[in-house]
Amino acid sequence: MRPFLDLFSLLSILKFLAAWMLLLSFALLAQRRLLSLIHLLAWQGITLALSTAMVAVLTGDRLLWVSATLTLSLKGLLIPFLLHRLLRRLQVRGDVEMSLNVASVQLLGIVLVIFAFALAAPLAGSLPAATHGMLGIALAAFLLAFLMMITRRKAISEVVGFLAMDNALFFGATSATLGMPLIVELGIALDALIAFLILGVFFFHIRESFESLDLHWLEHLRENQ
Amino acid sequence: MNALLPLQMALGAVALGPLASLGSLLPRLHPSWLRYTSLMTSTLMSLLWLLSGALGLILVAAPAPNLAVGGIPLWQFRLDPLSAFFLVVLGVVGTASSLHAVGYFRQLGRTGLRRVLIPLPLFLSAMALLLLADNAYTFLVAWEGMALSSSYLILAQTQTIQARHAAYLYLLVAHLGALCLLAAFALLCHGNPLAGNDFSALTHEVLAPGLAQAVLLLTLLGFGAKLGMAPLHVWLPEAHPAAPSPVSALMSAAMLPMALYGLLRIDWQILPPEGVSWGLVWLALGLLTAGFGVLFSTLQRDLKRLLAYSSMENMGLILVALGLARLFVAEGSPTLAALALSAGLFQTLNHALFKGLLFLGSGSVFHSTGTVDMGRLGALIRSMPQTTLLMLIGCLAIAGLPPLNGFASEWMLLQAFLLAPQMASGTLQAILPLTAAGVVLVLALASFAIIKAFGLSFLGQPRSIYTAHEAGLWERFAMAFLALGCIFLGLFPGLAIHAISAVNVLLLPGNSLGIQQPWRLTPISPERASYVPGWFLIGIAVAILLTFLLVWWRFGRPLRRVPVWSCGFRGARTARMQDSPAGFSQSLLRIFQPIHHGRIQPDTASKELRVELADPFWVGLYEPLQRLALALSRQALRLQHGKISSYLLYAFLTLVVLLVLVR
């Protein structure tokens, strides 16, 4: 089959998607509202699916199409939908409190991106020339998601951060190495889903015990006050 | 006869142990049935070990009989003279303790009995399994089984806070020791103790010198913890008094020697003695343990604690003997090495006999009077005459008086010291006489301690009101068994030395101790320092008879009964005019004050002086360690404050640091 786009434009699209991924990570870091956080997560999932599809076109691997479809349905649609429903059922409203202000978190995020690229540079030598920047971006997105988990107080935003980390790992695996075995992918997807379910159960328990989803109540659980 | 038979017999007895434990769980069994069946099984097991051990010492097969069971993990067993000798020790003590326990536990109900009878056969089996083990895996499993089952036994009868504390401390030290052993075996087996290398295969392996030193250190710590070696002894004086007496007897007389067996097996057979340094370390630690043990033994008020410290002293003496033997091997004089090694092993056997006897006797005293506090006892000779006679034999034996067995082994040890200057090099010539002086001091203090134990408990007037009764038939039978053993080995020490020579052949380049006649102890040659206990017995008997006749002839006719002189004190003679436990050892209390930091405090309630002792190792070593551990944990607690975001931060920082480091 002759590709309907030439290689150069395909790679450009992939790079554009990577940049978009990083931008979404920053947006997640900055966003205060829970509902918007979930939307951003959904966008990230869709981006991920698109980039997987691009890789599928690029390499001609049929299984990657399955993977892209799976990503789209699970990460782009199902999990955001579930989170959305959870938000409604738990009736969480308002903003997410952050332990640092947005500006400093963003600055910290930039430092992390530079760090991630510095880390990825020596590794990139072993990768296909076309995907040099991808590993850095994936690592940066991962660290940014981690930073987001650290700076948030509400339980739901922790889950969003966790899923964003998962997305970043996934992105790194598919884009930087141009595809990964379907079985690994299925495993990761299942893990994410299970983690989501467990955390969902925990939310209800946390709220039952403390009548709030604010995590600082958990500090009462430590020993030796 | 089939060469494998003793090993199979011993293993069969090992297998009986778990069966007996399971049998104790049967519902609706009458307590006395439970007691008889289970303890008779234990007795049978111990007798089988005694028999197979004796056979193993007599019929020495050229490759020692061995067996292997299972694939991975592989259980390997072997019965060589070293195992056989310690099997005899275990068999003797196990038999006596099981028989004594039939009487000792007669008042327990079903639940109380089960607390004892479930772990007891397992404990016996674990010890025998340890002796028969021929690879690291089997050895370590048996070692752990021994520690676990005995810690249950400590708590079998008393669940007071002190007893629980003692059991916990024991378990802690035992596990630290087991960890050291695990590390030692991992080094020995090149990181894989599960690989089915039997011990003889390990013997041929050549270890790097640094590795061998590490193994020697680790095994010394591991076995030393079980042995009650000086800085690691803290559990011993707590655990022995807390346990029921038959268990104390087993722990003291059979379990402590297991550590000696381990030292001989690993540090001697697998890593043969080379160089002087480890011999000196053993010698020094042994002397420290012996001196410390005997000093604290003299100052005790509790009979069982006194005996526990005395066990420490005996283990220290045996370690001294083994260290001396190691030095002699390094110096190239196998004759003297054989002498010192035989002295150590003979002392182990003797200790099993008399310490077992004394612990069992203290159990009968406890059973009869409800206390082992020597400040409350006295005059038991009137209410328990037979027990007193048996205890007297044990006391004379442990005090090292001829013609009993304690004298024979101590005589050999001292002979080994006295012969040392002929062979040893300059430094050793200076060190060994000093050590010998230390050993003599220890022996003298040991006699002092045992006189205190016997005199205060059995003679004089009762120091409190109690109704004592003679020990039961089973108890007396068990004690008589051990007492006869003391007398027999005292009169025929040559038999024991002859049996031990099989071990010498195994461990030393050549056994050159010479042929022993049963009734005569010949350390080096018949002309020099040989000892015939029979003559002593006749001499002592004649002297006693003559004195008796003299007194009877001169003063005895007609027999007059008059009141005892009461030291010029007008009024009634009271029990309080006798020595109290603190009073008896007053001089030692004052002389050694800088070591034990004992404080004398008046107890207003009972109008007595009480002595509070402080273990210098506990104060100087363990308490600082404890404080350090607590302070560190408190610092570590700061990390835990319940904020999820901080926990995430820890993970994040770890990740970043690792990424930086790994790239």
The residues spanned by each domain of chain A are: 7-212
3-class DSSP state of B467: coil
**Rg of the Cα trace of chain A?**
18
* CB contact A222 to B (< 8 Å): yes
Residue at B512 is within a domain: yes
A21-42: b (≥16 Cβ within 10 Å) or e:
bbebbbebbbbeebeebbbbbb
> Is residue B463 scored above 70 in pLDDT?
yes
Give the pLDDT of residue B573: 72
- Residue A93 confidence class, pLDDT cut points 50, 70, 90: low
The answer to whether the CB atoms of B645 and A119 lie below 8 A apart is no
What confidence score (pLDDT) does residue A1 get? Answer: 47
User: Which of B645, B651, B652 faces A99 most closely, judged by CB atoms?
Assistant: B645
Residues B507 and B400 in one domain: yes
pLDDT, position A217: 66
Structure tokens at B327: 């030095």
Residues 6+ apart with CB under 8 A from B544: none
B240 within some domain: no
**Minimal CA separation from B652 to chain A, in Å:** 7
Question: Which residue among B518, B535, B556 closes a domain?
Answer: B556
Tokens describing residue A66: 């399955």
Residue B477, Cβ density class (10 Å: 0-12 exposed, 13-18 middle, ≥19 buried): middle
pLDDT (mean) for B621-647: 85
Q: How far apart (Å, rounded) are the C-alpha atoms in residues B503 and B279?
A: 19
Checking if the pLDDT of B146 tops 60, the result is: yes
Q: Where are the alpha helices (DSSP H) in A60-101?
A: 62-71, 79-90
Q: Which residues of B touch A29 (CB under 8 A)?
A: none
B662 CB contacts (<8 Å, ≥6 apart)? Answer: none
Question: Residue A225's pLDDT is what?
Answer: 43
Is B643–A216 a contact, with Cβ atoms under 8 angstroms apart?
Answer: yes
**A216 and chain B in contact, CB less than 8 A:** yes
How many residue contacts between A and B have a Cβ separation below 8 Å? Answer: 42
Residue B249 has pLDDT above 70, yes or no: yes
CB contact A127 to B (< 8 Å): no
**pLDDT at residue B371, rounded to an integer:** 87
Picking from B534, B556, B578, the residue at the C-terminal end of a domain is: B556
Q: Are residues B337 and B431 in the same domain?
A: yes
Subunit contact A150:B640, Cβ cutoff 8 A: no
Q: Which residues pair with A152 in a beta bridge?
A: A98
Q: Which two tokens stand for residue B594?
A: 């800088």
Confidence of residue B612 (pLDDT cuts 50, 70, 90): confident
* Cross-chain Cβ contact A220/B643 below 8 Å: no
* Residues contacting B367, CB < 8 A, separation 6+: B104, B245, B471, B475
Weakest mean pLDDT among A157-171, A186-200, B45-59: A186-200
* CA B363, B364, B365, B368 torsion-angle sign: positive
| Contact present, B360 and B304 (Cβ < 8 Å) | no
Structure tokens at B122: 């397992």
Query: Are B301 and B387 in the same domain?
Result: yes
Chain B nearest CA to A1, separation (Å): 41
Q: Which one, of B51, B31, B23, B241, lies nearest residue B121 by Cα?
A: B23
Residue B295 lies in a domain: yes
**Which chain B residue's Cα is nearest to A143?**
B652
Distance from CA of B663 to the nearest CA of A (A): 7
**Which residue reads 């003599």 in tokens?**
B440
B419 and B538, same structural domain? yes
B-chain residues near A115 (CB < 8 A): 656
> Is residue B51 domain-resident?
no
Contact B497, B346 (CB under 8 A): yes
Q: Give B64's DSSP letter.
A: P
| B66: helix, strand or coil | strand
Q: What's the rounded Cα separation, in Å, for the pair B226 and B262?
A: 10
Q: Which residues of B touch A (CB under 8 A)?
A: 637, 640-645, 648-649, 651-652, 655-656, 659-660, 663
Q: Is the pLDDT of residue A187 over 80?
A: no
Closest CA of chain A from B626, distance in Å: 19
Examine the domain organization and report whether B449 and B360 are in the same domain.
yes
- Within 132-171 of A, beta carbons closer than 8 Å to B belong to 143, 146-147, 149-153, 158
Q: Where are the alpha helices (DSSP H) in B30-160?
A: 31-58, 81-104, 110-117, 119-132, 136-154
Annotate A150-176 with b (16+ C-beta within 10 A) or e (fewer). bbbbbbbbbbbbbbbbbbbbbbbbbbb
Residues 6+ apart with CB under 8 A from A16: none
Question: Within a domain: residue B644?
Answer: yes
The answer to which of A37-41, A127-131, B174-178 has the lowest mean pLDDT is A127-131
Residues of A in contact with B641 (CB under 8 A): 219, 222
| Structure confidence at residue A92 (pLDDT) | 67
Taking the mean position of all CA atoms in its chain, how far away is CA B653? 53
Q: Higher model confidence: residue A171 or residue A99?
A: A171
Spatial separation of the C-alpha atoms in residues B499 and B486, rounded to whole Å: 16
Does residue B472 share a domain with residue B403?
yes
Find where tokens 């293993």 sit: B11
Residue of A147, A150, A154 to mutate, testing the B interface (most B Cβ within 10 Å of its Cβ):
A150
Computed over every residue of chain B, the mean pLDDT equals 88
B195 vs B204: CA distance, rounded Å = 15
pLDDT at B575 over 80: no
Mean pLDDT of B616-635: 91
Least confident of B287-291, B318-322, B379-383, B440-444: B379-383
Highest mean pLDDT among A197-211, B52-66, B352-366: B352-366
Q: How many CB atoms lie within 10 A of CB A125?
A: 8
Task: List CB contacts of B260: < 8 A, sequence separation 6 or more.
Answer: B86, B223, B227, B315, B318, B319, B322, B344, B348
Q: Is B516's pLDDT higher than 80? A: no
Count of domains observed in chain B: 2
Cβ count within 10 A of residue B645: 17
Complex confidence, ipTM: 0.79
Residue B604 reports pLDDT greater than 60: yes
B529: three-class secondary structure by DSSP: coil
* CB pair distance less than 8 Å for A219 and B640: no
Residue B421: its pLDDT value, please?
Answer: 73
**Do residue B379 and residue B496 come from a single domain?**
yes
Residues of B in contact with A105 (CB under 8 A): none
Q: Across the interface, which of B637, B652, B663 has its CB nearest the CB of A150?
A: B652
B391 within a domain of the structure (yes/no): yes
Residue B567 has pLDDT above 80, yes or no: no
Best mutation site among B639, B659, B661 for testing chain A: the one with the most A CBs within 10 Å?
B659
The DSSP call for residue A4 is: S
Q: What contacts B262, CB < 8 A, 6 or more positions away?
A: B130, B139, B143, B181, B219, B222, B223, B226
B539 and B637 in a single domain? The answer is no
- In the numeric block, which tokens belong to residue B167? 């059991």
DSSP state of B471: P
Residue B607 has pLDDT above 80, yes or no: no
Determine whether the interchain pair B663/A223 forms a contact, defined as Cβ–Cβ distance below 8 Å. no
List of chain A residues whose C-beta atoms are within 8 Å of the C-beta of residue B640: 222-223
The mean of the pLDDT values for chain A is 80
Q: State yes or no: pLDDT of A128 exceeds 70.
A: no
Tokens of B590: 């004052």
Q: What is the pLDDT of residue A215?
A: 67
Q: How far is B647 from chain A (nearest CA, A)?
A: 8
pLDDT (0 to 100) of residue B351: 95
| Nearest CA-CA distance, residue B653 and chain A, Å | 10
**B211 pLDDT tier (thresholds 50, 70, 90):** confident
Query: At residue A4, does pLDDT exceed 60?
Result: no
Question: CA-CA distance, A13 to A21, in Å (whole number)?
Answer: 12
- Which of residues B556, B577, B599 is at a domain's end? B556
Least Cα distance to A83 among A197, A208, A185 occurs for A197
The domain containing residue B332 runs over which residues?
A: 273-556
A225 and B CB contact within 8 Å = no
Q: Is the pLDDT of residue B609 over 60?
A: yes
Nearest by CB to residue A218, choosing from B644, B656, B663, is B644
Asked if A146 and B655 come within 8 Å (Cβ–Cβ), the reply is yes
Give the nearest partner residue to B637 out of A143, A149, A224, using CB atoms.
Answer: A224
Check B642 against A149: CB less than 8 A apart.
no
Which residue in A149, A153, A222 is closest to B641 by CB distance? A222
Please write the tens of the pLDDT for every residue from B154-196.
988 888 898 899 999 999 999 999 999 999 988 888 767 666 6
Q: Which of B52, B24, B29, B274 is nearest to B156 (CA)?
A: B24
- Is residue B526 assigned to a domain? yes
